Amino acid sequence: MKEILKNIIQLISYRESAGPEDFILEENLFDKKAVESNQGGSGEPPIFAEKEGADSVNEGRDEGSSQSKGRVRSRRRKKGESSGEEPEQQSNGGDQVHGSLEQNRNRIDQIYGLPVNKDLIVRSFTMGTSPPTGGFAIFIDGLADRTTVNLLLQNLMVHTRMYCNNEGSPASYIMKNLLPGSQIRTLDSFKKIADSVNYGDTAFFFQGSAQAIVVETKGWERRAVSRPNVEQTISGPQESFVENLRVNTGLVRKIIRSEKLFTELFQIGARFPSDVAVMYLKDLANPQLVEEVKRRISSITVDYVNDIGILEQFIEDDPYSMNSQTLSTERPDRVAALLAEGKVAILLGGSPFALVVPVTMYSQMHTGEEVYLRWQYGTFLRYIRTISFYLALLLPGSYLAVVLYHQEMVPTELLLFIAGNREKVPFPTLVEMLLMEFSFELVREAGLRIPGIIGSTIGIVGALILGQTAVQANIVSPILVILVAVTGLASFSIPSYSLAFAVRIYRFFYIIMGSVLGFFGISIVLYVQILLTTNLKSFGVPYLSPTGPRTHSGPDIVFRLPIFMHRRRPDYLNPQDDIRMSQNPRGWVEEGNGGEKQG
Amino acid sequence: MRLLKIIAPLILVLLMAGCWGKRETDEIAYVLVMGFDKGPGHFSVISFQIANPKAIAGLSGGGGGKGVGGGDEPLFIENIVAKLPIGAFNLLNVERSREISLLHTTAFIFSEEVARQGVAHYLNPLGRYRETRGTAFVFVCRGKASEFMKKNQPVLEVTPSKQYAMLALTNKIHGLTQVTQFTDFYQGSKSVDVNPTAPLVGISKKEELSKSEIPPHNKLGDYLAGDMPSVEKDPQFIGTAVFRKDRMVGELTGDETRYFNMIIGKLNQSFLIIDDPKKKGQSVGMTLRQARKPEVKVNLAGERPEIELRIYQEPEIAGVTSGINYESPEMKKVLEKALANIIRKRCESLITRTQEEFRSDIFGFGRKAKRKFITLEKWKKYNWDEAFPQARVDIIVHVKIRRTGLMLNTRPTQ
């Protein structure tokens, strides 16, 4: 009996496997290496040493734990910190370009770890000057444009025969006379040279020159400017941003042809830098706003920023709010229009989206297309969108509240129809609703992730299998399918992806509270949501302005008046100049009748 | 942890504020119509017409359509003997599995017998009950209410609820019946200013049309519900039950109901046939339309109340059999005068009937009279119930023919 019990316990209890493990990712391997490299003096220092401040926060958090534990932790961190400072100075010592080609070559090998790292191409050559000068060029395969590099080498190796050089520094002479690149610099710091080469430039080192010539040869494979994929419109420009920063700034500048359009470049990312462009109209945007945007961006210390979505999360006011506080758009014309209102655009190299700040709830409901259309059509579009916003938010919750608590609100025939269809459904209405909502989210997510070739089938699968069959199998009632479909459509018609997300998540709160407390619950969530949204600010601008707080805004919130009445820029932005057009922007209409009717 | 300490009580408070009255639709039996009949002793027979949602949504019959053999009826009727309506709910649950809900009860039908004995002890619990709709309709049935509910199979509608709702609309076209909502009826039964009325319903007798008795042509719709000749046994909604407090004291025919509606200002449109004022034996058809609400002035200075009633009608000519050109301005005047005369006479006889036969102010003249008193006590002391039958009513009828249909003048057919 005891044996059996023992066996059973052995069966369900944990035992370490006897065989040797193939691979172990050792916990302290990195720490050891860091210590070793410190001693050798060649390794990279950790970029962000844990600071004293961070430690104290940690200590504050586990107040309850024993004091000695906290002390041990802080001691460990101090060690890492002290080790972080020394090697930086050492590497600075070897940063200068030497006159000796050999030494430079060795340094490059060291920086790039050359025999191992295959990306960097080193091309040695001898120039046909008299006396012949040795040199080498470095560039990264795949980033540098091959034809340009070939042309440069050709110039140096073949065409230099005609020239003789004896005077001045060889680098500046070559730069002036021999290299035909359009953007060309001489650099003497390996750090800077490496930064440029990492971004597709080609660096030339010459015998006897303590400077390297860096020629711009960026030429990696890139996507062409194409139609917008996310923010499609029927009217208006059909261009969208691409992954190249300078192309993107160019697309905006192409629309705003003004020397007042400032583009300021920042680099963020301590390990691998990425370029951030802040664009604004110097004579329009509020300088305080520009200053704040720049302050936030330049204060970011992170190893690297991959996408503008990550940047958004670093600079937004309230990371815990459901609503996004920046406007992400892929349309240059939209950015230009918002810049002309006095907003600030942020672009990131490698990201085909631009962030525009500050943003209000209402501008997230706009697409820019309504302004291109005549005002009647634009207003109609916006009303449809507004209604669908409320539908997406409230419809499922209200249905639950009505069917479960307030049955007297529905016409008798409709209630009996709903009830009749629910008779054979074995689940409570809430479960039915959650099931259907979940299925819809599933279709939506699967439709996005599914490989393109079979992607078209997901619509049929979603609609047919889920809708039709679920009803036939009496898993859900048909009216619910209609409801969820309408809700889903409505949430798709919200232009801002972030806002649609917020609505989708809020909707579940309404569903839960509607089914627990009826309309009382719905009004509670509505109240809380309004409070949270009103309390939000985006770069100092209240999220619900111009309606909460009420400011002068011009006729461009939900309702849109004829274009010549949009005389003033939004007041909440406090632009330097808030008048957009003259008193009578349509000069051909007689003055004095307010532009109401032509004279 | 501290956040939890703050949030948890908040959530508890919210949850406690809810009513927790969640009921799935498949846990409830929806009563659409309630009927009240006289039962054994002091008990009553309370009938419930309950909807079967399965059948209404077309789900019954195992995938087959409605009406196929074995399919459920969309409605069924339960009769319960009980003293009070609320008690009947509990007894009903002995027979049927689901909780009874009055949320969608759109009609309360009292049989004439019950109505004549007084309906206060039904109205009180129903009015107190949380689920009763104030907008439900109240009817008085000639004959048994349960019988009427069984026979009333609306052909055009899915449920009787819709039928009753439609009734309020069709009444705007003919004005031969009348619409009373539960709240109004209940208030009226307690009020000292006005006495309640309820529309009469009934099932017609099956008879041969050629042998049936019919009223004179100039009294169109002079029937009580159930008396109108009909080949089949059809539900009929015509006429008015007159109440004094909660007791039914008499009936008005459809024709009388028209003038009753006219006096209380609820006659939207009604077709009327009058004798031709110029040619005997011929008649003129008129479509009555209210120009504006009647004006009522009450004078209590004298020994008995004096009521001045002004009625404004703008009829339309619907048909002239005599061929006289009533469209001409002179002849229009003649017709207007004749019509005004008829309306005044009919209204006078209706008011006299309510004064002498029913002794019940169903018109709400009391509401106007009440304004002459400063306090409610003084008004109650005046005892309008006794004063109204003594009142002298002057009726002034203004008739103006504005439209003559699509014909501008009449020429006799050769």
Structure tokens at A310: 């990550």
Same domain membership, residue B309 and residue B206: no
How is residue A469 annotated by DSSP?
I
Instruction: Look up the ipTM and state it.
Output: 0.85
- Among the ranges given (A215-224, A304-313, B382-391), the one the predictor scored with the smallest mean pLDDT: A215-224
Contact B231, B398 (CB under 8 A): no
Query: Whole domain around residue A334: which residue ranges?
Result: 245-359
Q: Tell me whether residues B59 and A416 touch, CB distance under 8 A.
A: no
Q: What confidence tier does B398 reach under pLDDT thresholds 50, 70, 90?
A: very high
In degrees, rounded to 5, the angle at the alpha carbon of residue B95 between the alpha carbons of residues B90 and B97 is: 85
pLDDT > 60? residue B146: yes
Nearest to B172 by CA among B256, B239, B285, B271: B271
B18 domain-assigned:
no
Between residues A334 and A446, which one has the greater pLDDT?
A: A334
Sheet of A212-215, strand order: A120-127, A133-140, A202-206, A212-215, A184-187
Contact A244, A222 (CB under 8 A): yes
Residue with tokens 């110029």: B278
A559 domain-assigned:
no
Same domain membership, residue B291 and residue B253: no
Nearest to A181 by CA among A164, A206, A200: A200
Residue-level pLDDT at B247: 92
Same domain membership, residue B53 and residue B181: yes
Q: CB neighbours of A535 closer than 8 A, spacing ≥ 6? A: none
Per residue in B179-205, pLDDT (tens digit) is 999 999 999 999 888 999 999 999 988
A509 domain-assigned:
yes
Same domain membership, residue B231 and residue B116: yes
φ, ψ for residue B149 (rounded to 5)?
-60, -35
Mean pLDDT of chain A: 82
Contact A355, A308 (CB under 8 A): yes
A340 domain-assigned:
yes
Residue-level pLDDT at A196: 87
The dihedral over CA atoms of A224, A229, A234, A236, expressed in degrees to the nearest 10, equals: -50
The SS3 call for residue B199 is: strand
Same domain membership, residue B200 and residue B84: yes
Same domain membership, residue A191 and residue A326: no
User: Which of A76, A93, A110 lies at the terminal end of a domain, its last residue?
Assistant: A93
Nearest to A153 by CA among A131, A132, A128: A128
Same domain membership, residue A493 and residue A387: yes
Residue-level pLDDT at A233: 87
Omega before A546 within 30 of 0, i.e. cis? yes
Q: Tell me whether residues A421 and B57 touch, CB distance under 8 A.
A: yes
Same domain membership, residue B394 and residue B355: yes
pLDDT > 50? residue B385: yes
Contact A522, A514 (CB under 8 A): yes
Nearest to B163 by CA among B172, B171, B154: B154
Residue-level pLDDT at A403: 92
Same domain membership, residue A395 and residue A321: no
Supply the DSSP string of A127-192, one letter for each residue.
E-SSS-EEEEEEEETTTB-HHHHHHHHHHHHTGGGG----SS-HHHHHHHHT---SSEEEE-BHHH
Residue-level pLDDT at B220: 83
Residue-level pLDDT at A76: 44
pLDDT > 60? residue B283: yes
A180 domain-assigned:
yes
User: Which of A291, A324, A359 lies at the terminal end of a domain, its last residue?
Assistant: A359
Same domain membership, residue A87 and residue A161: no
In degrees, rounded to 5, the angle at the alpha carbon of residue A190 between the alpha carbons of residues A187 and A196 is: 65
How many domains does chain B contain in total? 2
Angle between helices A429-449 and A478-492 (to 10 degrees): 40
Q: Tell me whether residues B57 and A419 touch, CB distance under 8 A.
A: yes
Measured on CA atoms in the order A501, A502, A507, A512, is the torsion positive or negative?
positive
A53 domain-assigned:
yes
B398 domain-assigned:
yes
Amino acid of residue B128: R
Of A404, A417, A418, the CB nearest to B22: A404
User: Which of B243, B263, B283 lies at the terminal end of a domain, its last residue?
Assistant: B263
pLDDT > 70? residue A437: yes
In degrees, rounded to 5, the angle at the alpha carbon of residue B175 between the alpha carbons of residues B172 and B176 is: 140
Same domain membership, residue A392 and residue A339: no
The SS3 call for residue B37 is: strand
Same domain membership, residue A523 and residue A405: yes
Q: Tell me whether residues A419 and B30 touch, CB distance under 8 A.
A: yes
Q: State how far the Cα of B51 lies from the Cα of B180, in Å rounded to an integer.
A: 23
Residue with tokens 């301590």: A270
Q: State how far the Cα of A84 lies from the Cα of B37, in Å rounded to an integer.
A: 97
Of A416, A419, A518, the CB nearest to B159: A416
Residue-level pLDDT at B406: 86
Same domain membership, residue A112 and residue A89: no
User: Which of B263, B296, B327 lies at the terminal end of a domain, its last residue?
Assistant: B263
Contact A278, A264 (CB under 8 A): yes
Residue count of chain A: 599
Per residue in A96-114, pLDDT (tens digit) is 888 788 888 888 888 888 8
Chain B contact for A527, CB < 8 A? no
User: Which of A332, A359, A386 lies at the terminal end of a domain, its last residue?
Assistant: A359
How is residue A462 annotated by DSSP?
I
Q: Tell me whether residues A520 and B51 touch, CB distance under 8 A.
A: no
* % of chain B surpassing 70 pLDDT: 96
Nearest to A395 by CA among A286, A470, A503, A298: A503
A490 domain-assigned:
yes
How far does the CA of residue A433 sit from the closest CA of chain B (Å)? 13
Of A404, A413, A521, the CB nearest to B23: A404
CB atoms < 10 A from the CB of B44, how many?
27
Q: Tell me whether residues B30 and A412 touch, CB distance under 8 A.
A: yes
Q: What confidence tier does A396 reach under pLDDT thresholds 50, 70, 90?
A: very high
Q: What confidence tier does A271 reach under pLDDT thresholds 50, 70, 90?
A: confident
- Among the ranges given (A374-383, B64-73, B354-363), the one the predictor scored with the smallest mean pLDDT: B64-73
- Among the ranges given (A78-87, A486-495, B89-98, B227-236), the one the predictor scored with the smallest mean pLDDT: A78-87
Mean pLDDT of B337-350: 94
H helices within A493-566, ranges in order?
A: 497-534
Q: Tell me whether residues A416 and B24 touch, CB distance under 8 A.
A: no
Q: State how far the Cα of A64 lies from the Cα of A70, in Å rounded to an integer.
A: 10
Per residue in A150-202, pLDDT (tens digit) is 888 888 777 765 555 555 566 667 777 777 777 888 888 888 888 888 888 89
pLDDT > 90? residue B15: no
pLDDT > 60? residue A132: yes
Between residues B257 and A269, which one has the greater pLDDT?
A: B257
Same domain membership, residue A130 and residue A77: no
Q: Tell me whether residues A405 and B103 touch, CB distance under 8 A.
A: no
Same domain membership, residue B388 and residue B333: yes
Per residue in A454-479, pLDDT (tens digit) is 767 767 777 777 778 888 888 888 88
Same domain membership, residue A377 and residue A522: yes
Q: State how far the Cα of A84 lies from the Cα of A51, in Å rounded to an integer.
A: 11
Query: Whole domain around residue B181: which residue ranges?
Result: 26-263
pLDDT > 60? residue A227: yes
Chain B contact for A511, CB < 8 A? no
- Among the ranges given (A202-206, A458-462, B68-72, B151-155), the one the predictor scored with the smallest mean pLDDT: B68-72
pLDDT > 50? residue A92: no
Between residues B193 and A130, which one has the greater pLDDT?
A: B193
Residue-level pLDDT at A49: 66
Residue-level pLDDT at A468: 81
A454 domain-assigned:
yes
A152-185 burial code (b ≥16 CB/10 A, e <16) = beebbeeebeeeebeeeebbebbbeebbebeebb
Of B18, B54, B133, the CB nearest to A520: B18
A200 domain-assigned:
yes
Same domain membership, residue B233 and residue B334: no
Q: State how far the Cα of B19 lies from the Cα of B22, in Å rounded to an integer.
A: 8
Q: What confidence tier does B34 reach under pLDDT thresholds 50, 70, 90?
A: very high
Q: CB neighbours of A11 closer than 8 A, spacing ≥ 6? A: none
> The domain that contains B274 carries what CATH number?
3.30.300.210
Residue with tokens 């005389």: A567
Same domain membership, residue B283 and residue B238: no
Among A414, A415, A418, pick the best mutation site for testing chain B contact (most B Cβ within 10 A): A415
B2 domain-assigned:
no
Distances (CA, A) of A342 to A74, A277, A283, A566: 47, 16, 9, 15
Chain A contact for B57, CB < 8 A? yes
Q: State how far the Cα of A547 lies from the Cα of A541, in Å rounded to an integer.
A: 12
Same domain membership, residue A496 and residue A398: yes
Q: What confidence tier does A44 reach under pLDDT thresholds 50, 70, 90?
A: low
Q: Tell me whether residues B22 and A424 touch, CB distance under 8 A.
A: no
Same domain membership, residue A530 and residue A424: yes
Q: State how far the Cα of A431 lies from the Cα of A412, in Å rounded to an integer.
A: 24
The SS3 call for residue A518 is: helix
Same domain membership, residue B275 and residue B179: no
User: Which of B240, B263, B286 lies at the terminal end of a domain, its last residue?
Assistant: B263
pLDDT > 90? residue A326: yes
Chain A contact for B46, CB < 8 A? no
How many domains does chain A contain in total? 4
Chain B contact for A408, CB < 8 A? yes
pLDDT > 60? residue B238: yes
Count contacts between A and B (CB, < 8 Å). Answer: 96
Chain B contact for A479, CB < 8 A? no
Omega before B277 within 30 of 0, i.e. cis? no
Give A528's contacts in chain B (Cβ within 8 Å): none
Chain B contact for A515, CB < 8 A? yes
Of B23, B131, B159, the CB nearest to A412: B159
pLDDT > 90? residue B399: yes
B75 domain-assigned:
yes
Per residue in A520-545, pLDDT (tens digit) is 999 999 999 999 999 999 999 999 98
How far does the CA of residue A539 sit from the closest CA of chain B (Å)? 27
The dihedral over CA atoms of B201, B202, B208, B214, expressed in degrees to the nearest 10, equals: -40
Same domain membership, residue B276 and residue B222: no
Q: State how far the Cα of B100 lies from the Cα of B50, in Å rounded to an integer.
A: 9
Same domain membership, residue A407 and residue A341: no
Mean pLDDT of chain B: 88
Same domain membership, residue B300 and residue B315: yes
